[in-house]
């Protein structure tokens, strides 16, 4: 491998990884982002809770702006999926491998995110419903948009109950629907739902169609039409590379980090949804900024990165 050793390889080009890329490139470090192109932010039809965007912004546009900003300062971005991450503790180097190549780096930031589990429904229907706000995944993000609307929550356990109760403060019309079989809730959860006036419907349930700007859900108890449904089926956290490199996971199955975003493996850092947190753009960006500054400081503690003095001739040229 003749390529120079990178100061930092960032795996994941969502809000966390791209924020870190902007910081690190502006710290004059040699970095690369390798991104599988499946950022959750790309699914957002219009985010309205991100500060600084009073009229909202499409998730895909936000990502493009962040990529442009990172590239402007010298970051390289590859669209690839990293399949292997090896750590040579003796040399203090990481090697990452993907389909068409590989790279070595002194540090690695894993910003690999999570994937929401989808409800059983046709994929094309799902994507159209998501784009139209008929399927939503994040009541913290967009509960405001369902204010006083009819909302179905597809979930069964205490996670589904918690999501339904959260949404109840946006609308009085909330129904909890079991995804696969009859709802089987403990007495405490049943009492909470009853107290909040949340309806319960047995599954199996399947969103089957869009009709009159509503999403129609077929259940064991018949058809229901909602202005929006929220699947509350959990998510899968992308921790595989962290585990390959020897990083510990938290009890919740996320990559475990300290408050500076360091994992237990020296030189390996993590930020964003893959670390336990709010699963929000602002939080992912914040963690990306913290991680980048820690990486910079750790690299400089190993070996100072002093700038060379500007040559006299260059100085004369730029001064005229
Ligand atoms: C429908 C929807 C609406 C949302 N609305 C909002 C909102 O309005 N406001 C808000 O704040 N948040 C919202 N969110 C949440 C927000 O999108 C996430 O919190 C945010 O994208 C997390 O950023 P991240 O960088 O941690 O992960 P992601 O944005 O998910 O990016 C992770 C990236 O890592 C890549 N990756 C993973 N593994 C590998 C690998 N091995 N090799 C290479 N690349 C890899 C993935 O392909 C992906 O591109 C929403 C989420 C969804 C799904």
Task: Please give the pLDDT value at position 231.
Answer: 96
pLDDT of residue 320: 46
Closest to 31 in 3D by CA, of 320, 302, 299, 318:
299
Mutate to test the pocket of ligand 1, among 40, 43, 283 (most ligand atoms within 8 A of CB): 40
Distance CA 261, CA 267 (A): 11
What CA–CA distance (Å, rounded) separates 112 from 10? 9
Maximum C-alpha span of the chain: 81
Residue of minimum CA distance from atom 19 in ligand 1: 280
Q: 31: closest CA among 284, 269, 190, 317?
A: 269
- β strands within the chain, DSSP E: 6-11, 31-35, 76-79, 82-88, 93-98, 101-110, 114-116, 150-154, 173-177, 199-201, 206-211, 214-219, 222-226, 228-231, 235-237, 268-270
What is the whole-number distance in angstroms between the Cα of residue 15 and the centre of ligand 1? 7
Atom of ligand 1 nearest to the CA of 63: 29
| pLDDT beneath 50: ranges in the chain | 1, 320
Question: What's the confidence (pLDDT) of residue 312?
Answer: 64
Cβ atoms of 132 and 229 within 8 Å: the answer is no
- CB-based contacts of 177, cutoff 8 Å, min separation 6: 152, 153, 154, 155, 200, 201, 202, 203, 205, 217, 219, 224
Pocket of ligand 1 (CB under 6 A): 11-17, 34-41, 43-44, 47, 49-50, 81-82, 111-113, 116, 130, 137-138, 141-142, 238, 241, 272-273, 279-282, 284
CA of 9 to the centre of ligand 1 (A): 18
Integer Cα distance of 67 and 71 in angstroms: 6
Separation of 64 CA from ligand 1 center, angstroms? 14
Q: What's the start-to-end Cα distance of the chain, in Å? A: 43
Give the integer Cα–Cα distance in Å for 245 and 264: 10
Please name the residues in contact with 60: beta carbons below 8 A apart, sequence gap of 6 or more.
Answer: 41, 42, 44
Q: Probe ligand 1: pick from 10, 44, 45, 287, max atoms within 8 Å of CB?
A: 44
Query: What predicted TM-score, i.e. pTM, was given to this entire model?
Result: 0.95
Q: Which helix (H) or strand (E) holds 21?
A: helix 15-26
How many A from CA of 41 to the centre of ligand 1? 5
Kindly give the number of the ligand 1 atom that is closest to the alpha carbon of 282: 11
Contacts 24+ apart (CB under 8 A), 91-98: 92/266, 92/267, 93/5, 94/9, 94/245, 94/267, 94/268, 96/9, 96/11, 96/34, 96/241, 98/34
The pair phi, psi for residue 83, each rounded to 5°, is: -105, -20
Q: 226 CA distance to ligand 1 centroid (A)?
A: 26
- Take atom 48 of ligand 1 and give the residue whose Cα is closest: 39
Distance 209 CA to ligand 1 centre (A): 27
Rounded Cα distance between 179 and 183, Å, is 9
Distance of CA 59 from the midpoint of ligand 1 (Å): 10
């Amino acid at each position: 491998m003749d390529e120079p050793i990178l100061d930092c390889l960032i795996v994941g080009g969502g809000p966390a990884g791209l924020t870190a890329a902007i910081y690190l490139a502006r710290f004059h470090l040699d970095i690369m982002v390798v991104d599988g192109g499946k950022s959750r932010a790309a699914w957002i039809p219009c985010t309205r809770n991100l500060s600084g965007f009073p009229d909202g912004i499409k998730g895909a546009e936000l990502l493009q702006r962040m990529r442009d900003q990172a590239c402007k300062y010298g970051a390289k971005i590859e669209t690839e999926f990293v399949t292997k991450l090896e750590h040579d503790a003796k040399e203090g180097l990481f090697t990452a491998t993907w389909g068409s190549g590989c790279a070595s780096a002194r540090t690695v930031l894993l910003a690999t995110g999570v994937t929401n589990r989808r409800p059983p429904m046709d994929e094309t229907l799902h994507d159209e419903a998501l784009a139209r706000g008929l399927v939503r995944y994040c009541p913290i993000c967009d509960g405001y948009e369902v204010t006083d609307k009819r909302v179905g929550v597809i979930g069964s356990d205490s996670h589904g109950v918690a999501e339904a109760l959260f949404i109840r403060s946006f609308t009085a019309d909330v129904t909890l629907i079991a995804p696969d079989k009859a709802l089987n809730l403990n007495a405490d959860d049943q009492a909470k739902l009853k107290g909040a006036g949340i309806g319960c419907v047995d599954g199996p349930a399947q969103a089957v169609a869009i009709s009159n700007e509503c999403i129609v859900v077929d259940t064991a108890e018949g058809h229901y039409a909602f202005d929006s449904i929220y699947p509350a089926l959990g998510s899968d956290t992308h921790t595989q590379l962290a585990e390959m490199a020897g990083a510990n996971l938290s009890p919740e199955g996320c990559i475990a980090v300290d408050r500076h975003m360091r994992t237990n493996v020296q030189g390996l850092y993590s930020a964003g949804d893959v670390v336990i947190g709010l699963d929000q753009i602002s939080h992912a960006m914040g963690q990306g900024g913290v991680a980048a500054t820690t990486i910079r400081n750790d690299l400089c503690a190993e070996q100072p990165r002093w700038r060379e003095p500007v040559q006299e001739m260059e100085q004369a040229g730029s001064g005229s």
